[in-house]
Structures are given as C-alpha cells and as structure tokens.
C-alpha cells in the first residue's frame, strides 16, 4: 500500500516542478499582460472559427449550405470582425457576406481541388487598420485562411466525387431502362412475328394432314403430301423452339414440374427417335440402372431436351455407328448422357455451342439449323435447376450430359392447404 502511494505522488511532484517554470501573471507588466490577453483572445476566435467550419463539414448540409455557413464564420475570427467581410469565389458560384464590399485591404487564399485552383477565399477590411504582419492582417490569420481553404477544397472534392458517382449511377440507370425497353420491343416484335407465322401454319398443318389422309392410297401424291406434312411439322417445331428460347431468355418459361419416371420417359423417347436414327444409318442404344428414383421434372420438356440432343447426334455424327443414352445416379441428381462417335467439337467451341444462334462455322455449311437447339436445352435444364455440359475430343465423338433433380418429398411436395 505504501509503495503505491509513493508511486502516485511522484508524478505530481514532477508536474509541480514543471509549473514553476511557467511565468505567472505577476511576471508581466500591464502592457505585456494586455498584449498576451489580446493574442490569446485572437487564437480562441480562430480556433472557434475552425471548429465551427469542421462542425459544418461533419453535418448533413449540402456543400452550398456549408459554404454559406462558413462565410458567416470567417469574419468572426479576424482581428476586427465588425469591419470584416468575406467573399468565396468558386468556378461557378460566388458567396459573400451581407456587408460585402471590395477594398484595398484584403487577404486571399486559393482553394485547391485535386491539386488544381478551383476558387478563392477573400477577406476584406472595410476600413484602414494599423500595419501588422501582412498589411493590416496577422500571420495567424494567414495560417487560418489557409486552413479554411484546405477544408473547403476537401468538401468540394467530396462533392465532385459524389456528383460523378451520381451521374454514373444515372447514366447506368438510363442505359438499363433503354436496354429493358429494347428487350421489350424485341419480345413484342417476336411475339407478333410468331403469331403471324403460326396462324397460316396451323391451317397449313391441318390441310396437309387432311390431304395426306385423303391421298393415302395414291403412291406419288401420297408421298408428296407426306413431305408437305413433315415439313410443315418441322417448321412448326422450329417456331415453337424459337418461342421457348425467347420465353426462357425473359424468364417466362413455365414448367409443369411433377415426380417423373425418367426410365419410362427415356425408353419411349428412344423408341420414338429410332426411325430418325435409322434414317442417318445409326443405331440407338439405351443403358440404364436397374432401379432409378423419380426425378422432379416437366415430362414434355425433359423429352424435348433428350430429342434435341439425339437429333444433334444423328445430324452431326451421322454414319458413325451408334448413339448411346446412359444414366448415372448421384446424390441429388440423375445425370443423363448422350454419347456419339462423330467428329467431336473443338475445345474452344465447347462453351460457345450453348450460346443462342451459335453454329460451328464449318458444320453450318453442311447442315441446316438456327443454332438454338443447345441454347434451348440449356434454358430448359437450368429452369429445372440442373446443369448441361459437353465433353468431347475432336475425331473421337462427344458426350452431352445434363442433370435433373431427384424427386424429394420434403423439398418438392407442396404442403396441402
Ligand atoms: N453431337 C454433336 N457433334 C458435333 N457437333 C455438335 C453436336 N451437337 C451440336 N454440335 C455443334 O453445336 C452447334 C449448335 O447446335 P444447336 O444449338 O443444336 O444448333 P443447330 O443444330 O441448329 O446448329 C451445331 O451447329 C454444331 O456445330
Ligand atoms: Mg440442333
């Protein structure tokens, strides 16, 4: 206890010793005392002014309001506030005190913004006063006007940065709006175009179907009407694909998601695609796990994905032997793979083929297509919450794979109302 008491008294003793070196009031004569008091009052005024300006900077006022506030504070810090007026000139604005008048007794400082002159602070005395350090002004007032100019420069810098940010935000917003409008116009145009094409096509399909039935027995005419029927169906499918693609792009594609027996769906789709395979001199093979849990998918859309991939395999790998459909079960997904032994796809093209309207340049010359089949598959797979990709080696064929979520009662079953 004793020790701690000694510890606590020691510094006080030092402090007392230090204070003895500070002169006391008695050491000054009257005039020295008045001069000291005057200097002290001036410093307090200057500090008050700086403090006031700092407060203004920290407030939520606009830069204009801040400068209007600062301009009123500046005269109070100068030696003769009652005859002091101020003007702040900026590039595009001028602020003055109410009593402002230009005289020859002035002190000025440049406001720098980002290192460049941006404006000026001017302090004028309205009357002549005795000569001091800088005309009638004090050296300390020079320091003060410099500090104020620095602070104002900083506020302006912040304001300019803020304005730049705002204008960037506005132009980005405008651009986004324009883009949205353009997309809307494109969607509207395509919607009308599809409608215009579908109307005559529907009646063409109905007529050609009727004609095919009527001409069934007649060899040449029956064959010709069959072509008409096939091609109108193909055209109809292309238009539907385009429509789906656009709906997918604007997230308007609706899926009828249900627990789905993928094994059954793949078997029936493969059976349906057999004729197309034969036409390209290809064999279609289907290998599936014995037991396969259900997936959560839209049956028509899942079939559309598989048919699209199969048709591509028949088209681009024709005469290359066989196409295989395989399934693999992962934790939450079933992966469907469609493998061909055709020409394969160059590594640099493997991502691009999923982009809308992309077609491999050399293959495009050899076959018809719009380049939307894979893009549509991607839209459809992703709408199901799955993934699609290709692994391929030029000359060795390609494997297109996509995943579908396994049906999970907890995750997918909606609670009954
Ligand atoms: N099985 C495949 N083998 C080789 N290339 C393929 C295969 N499937 C697709 N491709 C390439 O991907 C491109 C895009 O295919 P897709 O989107 O279906 O459009 P399209 O068939 O109308 O050209 C095709 O033009 C082709 O170059
Ligand atoms: Mg295709």
Summarised one tens digit per residue, pLDDT across range 48-65 is 888 898 888 777 777 788
Tokens describing residue 245: 């693609």
369 CA → ligand 2 middle, Å: 6
pTM for the predicted model, two decimal places: 0.61
> Which residues lie across from 122 on neighbouring strands?
87, 108
SS3 label, residue 184: helix
338 CA → ligand 2 middle, Å: 14
Average pLDDT over residues 315-320: 90
Q: Please name which ligand lies nearest the alpha carbon of 345.
A: 1
Q: How far apart, in whole angstroms, are the C-alpha atoms of residue 180 and residue 170? A: 15
- Ligand 1: atom nearest CA of 338 is 1
Ligand 1 neighbours by CB, cut-off 6 Å: 312-313, 316-317, 340, 342-343, 345, 353, 358-360, 363-364, 369-375, 398
289 CA → ligand 1 middle, Å: 28
First-last CA distance in the chain: 77
Q: Find the DSSP H helices in 215-257.
A: 219-249
pLDDT per position as a tens digit, 208-225? 989 988 988 888 998 898
Q: How far apart, in whole angstroms, are the C-alpha atoms of residue 64 and residue 340? A: 72
**What is the predicted pLDDT for the residue at 269?**
97
What is the chain's mean pLDDT, rounded? 88
pLDDT per position as a tens digit, 279-313? 899 999 999 877 899 999 999 999 999 999 999 99
Query: Are residues 295 and 412 in contact, defined by beta-carbon separation less than 8 angstroms?
Result: no
- Taking CA atoms only, the protein residue closest to ligand 1 atom 9 is 312
Q: Please name which ligand lies nearest the alpha carbon of 359.
A: 1
Q: Is the pLDDT of residue 17 over 60?
A: no
- Ligand 1: atom nearest CA of 374 is 17
- Ligand 1: atom nearest CA of 313 is 1
327 CA → ligand 2 middle, Å: 21
SS3 label, residue 401: strand
Average pLDDT over residues 153-161: 86
**What is the predicted pLDDT for the residue at 310?**
97
Q: Please name which ligand lies nearest the alpha carbon of 360.
A: 1
Tokens describing residue 88: 């702040």
Q: How far apart, in whole angstroms, are the C-alpha atoms of residue 332 and residue 320? A: 34
Nearest to 316 by CA among 285, 288, 269, 353: 353
- Taking CA atoms only, the protein residue closest to ligand 1 atom 20 is 371
Residue in 374, 380, 401 to alter for ligand 1 test, most ligand atoms within 8 A of Cβ: 374
**What is the predicted pLDDT for the residue at 37?**
86
- In the sheet that holds 84-90, the strands lie side by side as 94-96, 84-90, 116-125, 105-113
Query: Are residues 98 and 68 in contact, defined by beta-carbon separation less than 8 angstroms?
Result: no
């Amino acid at each position: 206890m004793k020790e701690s008491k000694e510890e606590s008294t020691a510094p006080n003793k030092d402090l007392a010793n230090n204070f003895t070196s500070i002169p006391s009031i008695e050491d000054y004569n009257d005039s020295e005392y008045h001069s000291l008091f005057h200097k002290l009052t001036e410093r307090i005024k200057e500090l008050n002014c700086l403090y006031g300006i700092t407060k203004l900077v920290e407030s939520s006022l606009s830069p204009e309001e801040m400068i209007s506030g600062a301009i009123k504070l500046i005269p109070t810090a100068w030696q003769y506030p009652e005859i002091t007026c101020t003007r702040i000139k900026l590039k595009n604005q001028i602020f003055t005190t109410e009593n402002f008048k230009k005289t020859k007794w002035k002190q000025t400082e440049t406001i720098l913004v980002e290192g460049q002159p941006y404006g000026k602070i001017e302090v004028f005395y309205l009357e002549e006063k005795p000569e001091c350090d800088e005309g009638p002004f004090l050296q300390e007032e020079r320091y003060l006007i410099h500090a104020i100019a620095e602070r104002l420069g900083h506020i302006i810098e912040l304001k300019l940065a803020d304005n730049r940010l705002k204008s960037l935000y506005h132009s980005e917003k405008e651009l986004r709006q324009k883009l949205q409008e353009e997309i809307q116009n494109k969607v509207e145009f395509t919607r009308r175009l599809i409608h215009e094409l579908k109307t005559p096509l529907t009646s063409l399909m109905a007529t050609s179907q009727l004609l095919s039935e009527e001409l069934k027995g007649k060899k040449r005419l029956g064959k010709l009407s069959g072509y008409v029927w096939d091609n109108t169906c193909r055209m109809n499918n292309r238009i539907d694909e385009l429509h789906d693609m656009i709906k997918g792009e604007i997230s308007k594609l609706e899926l009828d998601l249900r627990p789905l027996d993928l094994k059954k769906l793949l078997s029936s789709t493969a059976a349906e695609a057999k004729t197309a395979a034969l036409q390209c001199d290809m064999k279609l093979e289907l290998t599936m796990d014995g037991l396969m849990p259900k997936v959560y998918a839209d049956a028509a859309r899942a079939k559309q994905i598989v048919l699209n991939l199969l048709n591509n395999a028949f088209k681009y790998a024709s005469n290359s032997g066989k196409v295989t459909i395989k399934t693999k079960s992962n934790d939450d997904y079933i992966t469907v793979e469609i493998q061909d032994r055709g020409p394969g796809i160059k590594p640099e093209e493997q991502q691009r083929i999923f982009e809308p309207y992309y077609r491999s340049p050399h293959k495009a010359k050899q076959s018809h297509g719009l380049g939307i089949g894979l893009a549509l598959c991607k839209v459809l797979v992703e709408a199901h919450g799955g993934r699609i990709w290709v692994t391929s080696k030029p000359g060795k064929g390609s494997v297109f794979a996509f995943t579908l979520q396994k049906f999970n009662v907890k995750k997918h079953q909606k609670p009954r109302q």
